[in-house]
C-alpha cells in the first residue's frame, strides 16, 4: 500500500494556528486505499492555538520567525521533521498544505527582514526536509488539480 505523509490539518485535525482545520473531502477521496501518515510540526512544537510565523530570508537561509515575538522558531520545526523522517521510512509521497511556512512544497511565501514579499514559490521547513529525503513532494492544491 502506498505510504503518504500528509499535513494533519488536511485530514481534519484542528491543528492550525487558530485551532481550525483544512479538511478537504476531494483530497481524501483521491487518497482512498493509501496509508496516511499525518504530521503537524507546529502543533507539536508550539501547541494550538499559537501565534503565526513567516519565513524570512536571512544570511543563514530561510528562517521561521514568530510574528508575535520575533523569535527564530526554525530549529523546532526542523528537528520535528528530521525525527519524523527518521521514524517513518519508505514514504512514497509527501502532501503539504499550500502556502504554509512549514508544510508548503512550492508555495510558501518568503519575506525579507522588512516584511517585503520576495517569493511565494518556496518550500516550507518541513517540506524542505522531505525533499532532502528524495521523497516526491506536492502541494495539496496541485495534487487535487486546482
Point out which residues bind ligand SF4 (CB under 6 A): 7-9, 15-16, 40-43, 97, 100, 102-103
Nearer to ligand SF4, 24 or 132 (CB): 24
Is residue 105 left, alpha or beta, with left meaning phi > 0 and alpha meaning psi from -120 to 50?
alpha
Strand arrangement of the beta sheet that strand 35-39 belongs to? 35-39, 3-7, 93-96, 136-139
CB of 35 to ligand SF4, least distance (A): 17
Which residue number, 42 or 129, has a Cβ lying nearer to ligand SF4? 42
Which residue, 21 or 57, has its beta carbon nearer to ligand SF4?
Answer: 21
Q: How far is the CB of 53 from ligand SF4 (least distance, A)?
A: 10
Amino acid at each position: 500500500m502506498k505510504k503518504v505523509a500528509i499535513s494533519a490539518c488536511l485530514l481534519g485535525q484542528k491543528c492550525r494556528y487558530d485551532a481550525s482545520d483544512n479538511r478537504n473531502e476531494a483530497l481524501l477521496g483521491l487518497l482512498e486505499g493509501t496509508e496516511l501518515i499525518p504530521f503537524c510540526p507546529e502543533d507539536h512544537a508550539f501547541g494550538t492555538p499559537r501565534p503565526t510565523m513567516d519565513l524570512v530570508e536571512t544570511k543563514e537561509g530561510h528562517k521561521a520567525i514568530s510574528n508575535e515575538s520575533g523569535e527564530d522558531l526554525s530549529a523546532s520545526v526542523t528537528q520535528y521533521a528530521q525525527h519524523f523522517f527518521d521514524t517513518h521510512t519508505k514514504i512514497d509521497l509527501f502532501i503539504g498544505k499550500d502556502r504554509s511556512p512549514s508544510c508548503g512544497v512550492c508555495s510558501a511565501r518568503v519575506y525579507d527582514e522588512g516584511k517585503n514579499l520576495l517569493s511565494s514559490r518556496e518550500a516550507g521547513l518541513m517540506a524542505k526536509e522531505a525533499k532532502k529525503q528524495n521523497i516526491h513532494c506536492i502541494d495539496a492544491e496541485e495534487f487535487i488539480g486546482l
